[in-house]
Amino acid sequence: MYQETDRHRLFTRRALVLGAGQLGMFGLLVGRLWQLQVGEGEKYALLAEDNRVNTKLIVPARGRILDRRGRPLARNVPAYRVRVVRERTPDLGRTLRALADLVPISPRRLEEVEEQAHNLRPFVPVPIRDDLSWEEVARIAVHAPELPGILLDQALLRDYPYGPVLAHVLGYVGPVNDRELQADRDPLLSLPEFRIGKKGIEKSYDKRLRGRAGLSKVEVNALGREIRELDRDEGDPGEDLQISLDLDLQRFCFDRLAQEKAAAAAVLDVQTGAVLASVSIPSFDPRPFANGLSSAAWKELSHDPLFPLVNKCIRGQYPPGSTFKMMTALAALEKGVIDPGHEVFCSGVFTLGNARFHCWKAGGHGRLALVQGIAQSCDIYFYDVALRVGVDAIAAMARRFGLGDRLGVDLPGERPGLIPTRAWKRERLGQPWQKGETVVTGIGQGFVLATPLQLAVMTARLCNGLKMVRPWYVRPVGADGQPEEWPRIELPRDGLRAVLRGMYEVVNGARGTARRAKLPLEGIALAGKTGTSQVKRITRAERASGAHKRKDRPWEERDHALFVCFAPFDAPRYAVAVVVEHGGSGSRAAAPVARDIMTRTLEINPAGAALLAARDLPPKG
Amino acid sequence: MLRSRLRAPELSLEEKVRALHWPFILLVPMLAMIGYAVLYSAAGGSHEPWAWRHAVRFTAGFFVMLTIALVDIRFWFRWAYVIFAVTLVLLVAVDIAGSLSKGAQRWLNLGFFQLQPSELAKVTLVMALARFLHAARLEDIARPLYLLIPLSMIGLPAGLVLLQPDLGTAVMLITVGGGMLFLGGVRWWKFTLAGGLVAAALPVLWANLHDYQRQRVLTFLDPERDPLGAGYHIIQSKIALGSGGLFGRGFLRGTQSQLDFLPEKQTDFAFTLLAEESGFIGASLVLTLYFVVVFLAFLVGLRAQSHFGRLLALGVGLNFSLYVVINVAMITGLIPVVGVPLPLVSYGGTAMMTTLVGFGLLLSVDVHRQVRIPRYPSEL
């Protein structure tokens, strides 16, 4: 019994120790709970929020692009799309087949959708088509009960209602590529449904059109399934962008040039530099680009020998031909090597050493001074003047009028053209300058290249009081928020007056090369300059037989036809440049087009309408 | 004479029912009801698939508990070794089945029931050790060689469980066994010595651990080292717990649990869900309830007349409190994730059955607290 009591006493003691130990353990656990839930509760509450809330970016509506009168040129239209959620249909294959019975879906697309649906989590909607018509939407909606798991919803698609007419100016949007993703930190770019400006205005003003991303806070579970939306910030839609183009004029220019195989035209406000119209023929339809063009379609467009994807206004570089003669004349007048009365005798041929240079007029023009030299576009006269002043002075003058360098127009991809100098030839070709090259440079041939927009700018600067306007689609503002003031070119005024007089005579003179370009509007005079630039050297045999002027020459060998002009002559307001590739002669192929464009410009623009109203007043001076 | 006393117990059925520990019996369903609520919430507010079956199992187990409670304590005393031996056989069977299927194997499929013998071992080891220590005199226990018998009684099931491999259960078996030896009067210094040996054996043990077990230990030491992999459970558990705050997010409103960030929320991490939704107040209240159960078991042990009864009651109580302590320490990041459920709350049949069988024995001890038991059954 002693033994038993002993053992009992020991047991009781140890049971108390064990009990105290257990009490201690429970106390420790309560303490731990206090530490986690009360002490660090806020920290864990934040972590929990992090866990459960997914922040999703919402693509803001892209800003519209409007013409100068506020008419939309690029906008967003609702597109209806149909998607399928795998977990909501008992038989995916059957549902998809039922859908394909209602709206056309290619069997290959069906396979793709099925495969995608099986690769993604079951609750993720898989897009099937995103270009449904209203009628198709209605058909699906009516059959909704037989189509479990099929979702209909709306997305915004970029739309260009005038398609090819504005394709080169507006450009287009498309899916973001890797390079763009690297270059831009905006989180919007990582969204698959986001579209970025790829060309034209869409590209140069992408950031303004893009807007600010919205945020949607969504409660998700551990698998990423969205449970519900907690909070939504719609973001800011992109800015509506008004551009300088006049839709009516643009459409007119496009239609007027559409008959040509390849051509370009630009209309400028000579006082401000605003581009009122700019077309490039042939064009393309920008709409298919939004979702990525098929590679076959892309191949066809990019391999087309007429380059429909290229905006010829800013990327087409052509020898300006006789439209360049004003530069030659002004250079010589400024240097004082000639005065407006300087006379040259044109026999039709000009000899320099062993080389013979021809005038376009086989028999020659006889004796003429500067005004008639321009009016009749005598080549010999400008060979003579060019040799007197030298190529570098001509180049310096051309540059002041906006040739030979990028104008900084607000469209991507502008090309500089080319104005040769002695230094340029030495550097680029490693050869000394030849006198004969000065001769052809004087009539805008040889190395000289200019874009149609540069020619329009040159014309504008000639007629606007020598203001060095630069072309724009969206009005540039200086640091002070005011529209930019243009510096002026310093030139002797009487020389300039003679050159402009020559341009007046081109259209209005008895012997002008573009008499057919006279405006049908009484009281408003057009002044301009034709250009017919050779693309192929004329051989002696061709010249003898007259083959170089025949109309059955292959298209690619025919001359480019150019015409630059401004109006009204006594109060210049608009400048037009037209280039018809391989159009033949400038006076026949380009001048009538320019005339029609200028007429239309004057008719439809408020400033022009005011001028028309005032035309009955007696002419000034 | 003695034999007839066993066959014809002194107490009538009515007396036994009246002698039942009713406060304890009422406390147990309370915990099961908390479990029901947790499982209902874990299913996103649905009786399916867990809560309903939990209730059915509990009801069945509850009657098993009452039945065991009414069976004479001497019956359990006499059959303790046999039941323990059956458990060992089942453990061997599981290991063989496991080696045949070349993977971890913890269950025996009995057709109608998935039996987990390692859970059973927790109760039967307590029974066997209680019977052994009941017969042992203090001077027997002082002999090291004599201690080899209870040590192998602990080591055999623990080793078999480790082979499965199930570290959590093995640790529990060793701890409960150690606790029983401690109550039985084994000297302090022997525990110190054993502790030293274990510390020395740790490197050997480490070398023999399964990769996933090592991962668990490493992850426990630094959960951030693999936040999406092995550390995910414990990080998510702490986030869920901590975000519950003082008052909790409200029933069915625990975002972490409801949104599936919390893994195994119906089994090992059930307490996390409870703590997230009911906050520190609810969680510590439930912990207190658990402690009351342990405390009552402790009181039952102290007032029992037989050494067998005392040891059995305290062993069951220790086993139960170990479940709770290990589970809660695990989900609060105090110890590695070892896979121990929270009794009566976590979803799972065997653990609940083991707990209720243990409580049955505990109640039987209490009902028969006046019954004296001789040192050997042959004297019954």
Predicted confidence (pLDDT) per residue in A321-358, tens digit: 999 999 999 999 999 999 999 999 999 999 998 899 99
Question: Is B332 within 8 Å of chain A by CB?
Answer: yes
Tell me: the pLDDT tens digits for A273-302? 999 999 999 999 988 887 667 778 888 888
Chain A positions touching chain B (beta carbons under 8 Å): 3-4, 6-8, 10-12, 14-15, 17-19, 22-23, 25-26, 28-30, 32-34, 36-38, 40-45, 47-49, 51-52, 219-223, 227
How confident is the prediction for chain B on average, in pLDDT?
85
Q: Tell me, yes or no, if B138 comes closer than 8 A to chain A by beta carbon.
A: yes
In chain A, what residues touch B318 (CB-CB under 8 Å)?
18, 22
Contact residues, chain B, for A26 at CB < 8 Å: 287-288, 290-291, 294, 321, 324-325
Using the Cβ of B137 and the Cβ atoms of chain A, whether some distance falls under 8 Å is answered with yes
ipTM of this predicted structure: 0.90
DSSP state letters, A64-133: PEE-TTS-EEEEEEEEEEEEE-GGG-S-HHHHHHHHHHHS---HHHHHHHHHHHHHS-TTS-EEEEEEE-
Q: Burial, A93: exposed, middle or buried (Cβ in 10 Å; 0-12, 13-18, 19+)? A: exposed
**Is the model's pLDDT at A541 over the cut of 60?**
yes
* Average pLDDT over every residue of B141-162: 90
The tens digit of pLDDT for each residue in A178-202 reads: 888 888 877 788 776 788 999 999 9
pLDDT, tens digit, 9 for 90 and up, residues B274-291: 999 999 999 999 999 999
Residues 6+ apart with CB under 8 A from A77: A156, A157, A159
Cross-chain Cβ contact A48/B179 below 8 Å = no
Domains and CATH numbers, chain A: 56-210+235-242 (3.90.1310.10), 247-285+309-475+487-615 (3.40.710.10)
Percentage of chain A exceeding pLDDT 70: 92
Interface test with B, best of A5, A11, A17 (most B CBs within 10 A): A11
Residue B6 clears pLDDT 50, i.e. is over it: no
Q: Long-range contacts for B9-17 (Cβ within 8 Å, ≥24 apart)?
A: B9/B72, B10/B371, B11/B367, B11/B368, B13/B70, B16/B69, B16/B70, B16/B367, B17/B70
Band the pLDDT of B363: cuts 50, 70, 90. very high
DSSP letter string over A2-35? HHHHHHHHHHHHHHHHHHHHHHHHHHHHHHHHHI
pLDDT at A235 over 60: yes
Which position has the higher pLDDT, B110 or A38? A38
Specify the amino acid at residue A414. E
Q: Residue A45: which of B245, B295, B334 has the nearest Cβ?
A: B245
**Taking phi first (over 0 means left), then psi (-120 to 50 degrees means alpha), and beta for anything else, what does residue A271 get?**
alpha
* Per-residue pLDDT at B98: 67
Whole-number pLDDT of residue A225: 67
Mutate to test the interface with B, among A26, A28, A219, A225 (most CBs of B within 10 A): A26
Q: Where are the domains of chain B?
A: 9-379
Pair of tokens at residue B112? 């109608």
Is residue A495 within 8 A of residue A282, CB to CB? The reply is: no
Which segment of A214-218, A456-460, A507-511 scores lowest on mean pLDDT? A214-218
pLDDT at A292 (0 to 100): 67
Q: What is the pLDDT of residue B4?
A: 45
> Which residue is closest to B260 within chain A, CA to CA?
A222
Residue A554 has pLDDT above 90, yes or no: no
| B68-85 average pLDDT score | 94
Instruction: Show residues of chain B in contact with A8, CB under 8 Å.
Output: 307
A17-27 pLDDT, tens digit per residue, is 999 999 999 99
Lowest mean pLDDT, pick from B46-60, B72-86, B91-105, B319-333 = B91-105
**Whole-number pLDDT of residue B106:** 66
Helix (H/G/I), strand (E/B), else coil: B363: helix
What are the tens digits of pLDDT across the range A50-82? 767 667 777 888 999 999 999 999 999 888 888
Q: Which of A322, A377, A533, A587 is catalytic?
A: A322
> What number is the average pLDDT over the span A138-144?
87
pLDDT at position B374 is 85
Active-site residue, A106 included: no
Q: What spatial distance separates the first Cα and last Cα of chain B, rounded to whole Å?
A: 9
Cβ <8 Å between B239 and A47 = yes
pLDDT, tens only, A393-421: 999 999 999 999 999 999 999 999 999 99
